[in-house]
């Protein structure tokens, strides 16, 4: 009986207190290094980023023939990559990718978030075979 009460109390605590958002990056050292993605294929492309090991955030949805600029930031102090949320907070990126909408992760093209001389980039992407190809 006591274990049921403990379990019920733990469940209530989960619902009463919101889960903390991802830890933010200090915006003072951030430099904007956008990645421009053009969709040269016939399928919609969705770009996403992994935030804090467990959460995927949408960066862009790109219709065929269109392009989008992914607003990525690089922290010149720590070497971390980040994206800005709607509240103006810089969220650290673990990784980022683009893929065919509806199968984004399965068809993903991983975006290189290198820490050695990072720079803005332009990619031309299209669905090919079982994945997404970007050049």
The candidate with the shortest Cα–Cα distance to 132, out of 110, 102, 108, is 108
Residue 78 has a pLDDT of 87
Residue 60 has a pLDDT of 98
Residue 90 lies in a domain: yes
Rounded-to-integer distance, Cα 111 and Cα 90, Å: 18
Residue 77 has a pLDDT of 86
Rounded-to-integer distance, Cα 106 and Cα 37, Å: 19
Q: For the chain, what is the domain count?
A: 1
Digit-coded pLDDT (tens) for 98-109:
999 999 999 999
Residue 73 lies in a domain: yes
Q: Provide the pairing of β-strand 35-39 with 121-128.
A: parallel
Residue 21 near residue 88 (C-beta atoms within 8 A): no
- Work out the pLDDT band at 7, boundaries 50, 70, 90: very low
Rounded-to-integer distance, Cα 91 and Cα 24, Å: 5
Q: What is the mean pLDDT of residues 65-84?
A: 94
The CATH code of the domain that includes 97 is 2.60.40
Domain with 53 in it: 23-134
């Amino acid at each position: 009986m006591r274990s049921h009460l403990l379990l019920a109390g733990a469940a209530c605590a989960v619902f009463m207190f919101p889960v903390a958002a991802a830890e933010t990056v200090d915006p003072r050292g951030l430099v904007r290094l956008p990645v421009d993605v053009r969709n040269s294929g016939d399928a919609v492309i969705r770009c996403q980023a992994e935030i804090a090991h467990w959460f995927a955030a949408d960066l862009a949805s790109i219709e065929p023939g269109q392009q989008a600029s992914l607003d990525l930031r690089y922290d010149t102090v720590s070497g971390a990559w980040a994206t800005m949320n709607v509240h103006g907070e810089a969220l650290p990126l673990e990784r980022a990718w683009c893929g065919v909408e509806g199968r984004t992760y399965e068809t993903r093209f991983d975006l290189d978030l290198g820490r050695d001389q990072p720079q803005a980039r332009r990619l031309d992407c299209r669905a090919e075979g079982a994945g997404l190809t970007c050049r």
